[in-house]
């Protein structure tokens, strides 16, 4: 596993049954919005990622990984994860961009 940088991170994955993007929240519960994901730093981020192996083994999620996020707002730093956080990019009426997500600041 590659060594993670020391900035703030969240864990992202996809639900196995629906394919929906989810984020690891407090108490290791999977949440649908990056805004409520648990902010992790340093060894705590690696430890949280390691704990997700149980959810993978149980068939709850697939492909969990660490995502670099903005310390202030918690939003993903890289374009790929920004798109994953906002939902489908071709249908603004679907996904989290259809609701009131404070991290979504883009247009249609």
Average pLDDT over residues 25-31: 96
pLDDT at 74 over 90: no
What local confidence, expressed as pLDDT, does residue 83 receive? 87
Q: pLDDT per residue over 44-70, tens digit each?
A: 999 999 999 999 999 999 999 999 999
Which of the four pLDDT bands, split at 50, 70 and 90, describes residue 3? Answer: very low
Instruction: Answer with the residue of higher pLDDT: 101 or 10.
Output: 10
Which own/partner contact pairs does 85-90 have at CB distance under 8 Å and 24+ positions apart? 85/21, 85/33, 85/34, 87/21
Which of the four pLDDT bands, split at 50, 70 and 90, describes residue 95? Answer: low
What local confidence, expressed as pLDDT, does residue 86 receive? 84
Instruction: Answer with the residue of higher pLDDT: 100 or 9.
Output: 9
Measured over all CA atoms, what is the biggest interatomic distance in the chain, rounded to whole angstroms?
Answer: 38
> Which of 74, 78, 68 is closest to 101 using CA atoms?
74
**Domain locations along the chain:** 9-98
Q: What is the pTM of this model?
A: 0.78
Nearest-5° Cα angle at 70, 68 to 59? 40
């Amino acid at each position: 596993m590659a060594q993670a940088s020391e900035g703030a991170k969240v864990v992202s994955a996809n639900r196995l049954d629906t394919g929906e993007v989810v984020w690891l929240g407090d108490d290791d519960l999977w949440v649908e919005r990056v805004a409520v994901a648990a902010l992790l730093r340093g060894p705590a981020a690696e430890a949280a990622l390691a704990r997700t192996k149980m959810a993978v083994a149980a068939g709850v999620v697939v492909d969990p990984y660490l995502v670099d996020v903005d310390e202030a707002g918690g939003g993903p730093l890289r374009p790929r994860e920004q798109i994953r956080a906002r939902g489908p990019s071709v249908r603004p009426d679907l996904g989290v961009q259809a609701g009131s997500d404070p991290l979504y600041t883009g247009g249609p």
